[in-house]
């Protein structure tokens, strides 16, 4: 991990550094959240609307409350940027040197509310603009994706890597549409049209965090989406980078979690995806 590690204790023959304590706590929270989400999925979700197509269930709120309380107890000085606490106002921004957790209790709430089994718990950590670690747990498949900067990426403890597909015409690409899609339908369709014409196929699975993990594990070859939020992307983009993939905006510039554009790929396809996105912009 790129920040200085303070030793915080000694376990059975093992030194516990601040760095691995952060990862340990993140993994414990993700596993417990997964149990709670699985339990909740057995009963009917009570749904409220944040907007016409933007839902929240009592599970989103309960999981965010649980994870926030746990993080506050462990790391009282850290900023916590959770989706549900952020509301419709501006999203809190950490200072350059501040550690901040990015928490999406249920990424894929629409799927969860409809019992469509594609949703995840996502928890990432950054120091200022530097992304440090990510944990994404898929309660349905009982898969936990973990990565820390410089340490590689795993799924259930096994190393994962991006695909080797080098030609967009042989690629399976993921995407998603933001909550203002009804107002800007033609704009978003411009990019979709280009990718439909040039790839093996497009998947809109409904959980950006899992889409990112699919790229990291070679199940997808690339992914793009407009207007994701930092709680959707911080964890998953660390996992993609550590699995050997590439992360940027739509022109290939540095990825900005508070920005509007997320482009990830296996690296080999990155330039082709940038060109395809370029053709999707309106004339």
Q: For residue 207, what are its two tokens?
A: 């959980």
Nearest residue to Ca ion, by Cβ distance, number only: 107
Letters for 139-178 (x = contact with ligand IPD by CB under 6 A, - = none) are: -------------------------------------xxx
Residue 64 as a binder of ligand IPD (CB under 6 A): the answer is no
| Part of the chain binding ligand IPD (CB under 6 A), chosen from 74-82, 132-140, 205-213, 216-224 | 205-213
Among residues 82, 134, 139, 206, the one that binds ligand IPD under rule CB under 6 A:
206
Q: By C-beta, is 131 or 268 nearer to ligand IPD?
A: 131
Least Cβ distance, residue 110 to ligand IPD (angstroms): 6
Q: By C-beta, is 106 or 212 nearer to Ca ion?
A: 106
Token look-up 């993609």 returns: 240
Q: Which parts of 42-171 fold into alpha helices (H)?
A: 58-74, 83-86, 109-113
> Of these partners, Ca ion, ligand IPD, none, which one is at the site of residue 237 (CB under 5 to 8 Å by kind)?
none
Tell me which residue of 220, 273, 283 sits closest to 250, measured CA to CA. 273
Q: For residue 271, what are its two tokens?
A: 């330039």
Query: How many CA atoms lie within 13 Å of 68's alpha carbon, on the beta-carbon side?
Result: 17
Three-state DSSP state, 115? coil
Least Cβ distance, residue 196 to ligand IPD (angstroms): 17
Least Cβ distance, residue 13 to ligand IPD (angstroms): 40
Residue 232 as a binder of ligand IPD (CB under 6 A): the answer is yes
Q: Are 125 and 22 in contact (CB under 8 A)?
A: yes
In terms of residues, how long is the chain? 283
Among residues 208, 215, 240, 264, the one that binds ligand IPD under rule CB under 6 A:
208
Q: Which parts of the chain fold into alpha helices (H)?
A: 18-41, 58-74, 83-86, 109-113, 185-198, 208-216, 230-242, 270-280
Q: For residue 23, what are its two tokens?
A: 């990862």
Least Cβ distance, residue 22 to ligand IPD (angstroms): 23
Residue 108 as a binder of ligand IPD (CB under 6 A): the answer is yes
Query: By CB neighbour count within 10 A (0-12 exposed, 13-18 middle, 19+ buried), where does 252 fall?
Result: middle
* Residues engaged in binding ligand IPD (CB under 6 A): 83, 104, 107-110, 176-178, 206-208, 225, 228, 232
């Amino acid at each position: 991990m790129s920040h200085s590690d303070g030793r915080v204790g000694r376990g059975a023959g093992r030194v516990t550094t601040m760095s691995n304590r952060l990862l340990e706590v993140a993994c414990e929270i993700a596993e417990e959240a997964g149990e709670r989400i699985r339990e909740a999925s057995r009963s009917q979700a009570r749904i409220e609307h944040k907007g016409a197509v933007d839902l929240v269930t009592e599970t989103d709120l309960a999981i965010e409350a649980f994870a926030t309380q746990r993080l506050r107890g462990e790391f009282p000085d850290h900023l916590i940027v959770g989706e549900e606490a952020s509301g419709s106002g501006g999203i809190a921004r950490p200072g350059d040197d501040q550690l901040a957790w990015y928490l999406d209790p249920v990424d894929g709430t629409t799927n969860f509310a409809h019992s469509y089994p594609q949703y995840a718990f996502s928890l990432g950590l950054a120091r200022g603009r530097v992304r440090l670690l990510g944990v994404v747990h898929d309660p349905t498949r009982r898969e936990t994706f973990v990565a820390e900067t410089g340490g590689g990426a795993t799924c259930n403890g096994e190393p994962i890597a991006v695909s080797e597909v080098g030609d967009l015409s042989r690629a399976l690409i993921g995407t998603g549409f933001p909550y203002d899609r009804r107002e800007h339908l033609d704009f978003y369709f411009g990019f979709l049209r280009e990718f439909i014409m040039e790839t093996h196929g497009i998947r809109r699975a409904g959980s950006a965090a899992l889409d990112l993990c699919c790229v990291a594990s070679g199940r997808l070859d690339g992914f793009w989406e407009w207007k994701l939020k930092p709680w959707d992307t911080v964890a998953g983009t660390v996992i993609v980078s550590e699995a050997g993939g590439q992360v940027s905006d739509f022109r290939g510039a540095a990825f900005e979690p508070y920005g509007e554009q997320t482009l990830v790929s296996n690296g080999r396809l990155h330039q082709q995806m940038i060109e395809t996105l370029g053709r999707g912009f309106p004339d």
